[in-house]
Amino acid sequence: MDDVRGHAVNGNTRRPGRLRIGVVGAGRVGAVLAAALREAGHEIVAASGVSDATLARIDALLPGVPVADPDEVVRAAELVLLTVPDDAIGPVAAGLAKVEAWRPGQLVVHTSGRHGIDVLAQSGAAGIVPLAIHPAMTFTGTSMDRARLIDAVFAVTAPPGMLPIAQALVVEMGGEPVVIEEWDRPLYHAALVHGANHVVTAVAQASGVLSRIGIEEPARVLGPLIHASVDGALRDAPGAVSTLTGPVVRGDAGTVAAHLRALEGQPEALFAYRSMARATADLALSGGRIGPAQYADLIATLGTEGMGD
Q: With contact defined as beta carbons under 8 Å apart, do 47 and 65 qualify?
A: yes
Q: What pLDDT sits at residue 125?
A: 84
Angle in degrees, CA 7, 50, 5, rounded to 5:
15
CATH class of residue range 187-302: mainly alpha
What would the pLDDT profile of 72-103 be if each residue is shown by its tens digit? Answer: 999 999 999 999 999 999 999 999 999 999 99
**Rounded CA gap, 103 and 100, in Å?**
8
The pTM of this model reads 0.83
Among 141-155, 228-242, 263-277, 281-295, which is the least confidently predicted range?
228-242
Helix (H, G, I), strand (E, B), or coil: what is residue 130?
A: strand
CATH topology of domain 9-180: Rossmann fold (3.40.50)
Cβ burial of 125 (10 Å; 0-12, 13-18, 19+) is buried
In this structure, how many other beta carbons lie within 10 angstroms of the beta carbon of residue 50? 9
User: What H or E segment, with its residue span, contains residue 48?
Assistant: strand 43-48
pLDDT, tens digit, for every residue of 121-179?
A: 888 888 999 999 999 999 999 999 999 999 999 999 999 999 999 999 999 999 999 99
Distance CA 7, CA 285 (A): 62
DSSP state of 183: G
116, 132 contact by CB (below 8 A): yes
Q: How far apart are CA 106 and CA 12, in angstroms?
A: 23
pLDDT of 218 higher than 60: yes
Between CA 99 and CA 109 the distance in angstroms is 19
The ranges of the chain annotated as CATH 1.10.1040 are 187-302
Query: Where in the sequence of the chain do the CATH 3.40.50.720 domains occur?
Result: 9-180
- How distant is the alpha carbon of residue 6 from its chain centre? 34
Per-residue confidence (pLDDT) for residue 308, from 0 to 100: 47
Nearest to 81 by CA among 127, 10, 32: 32
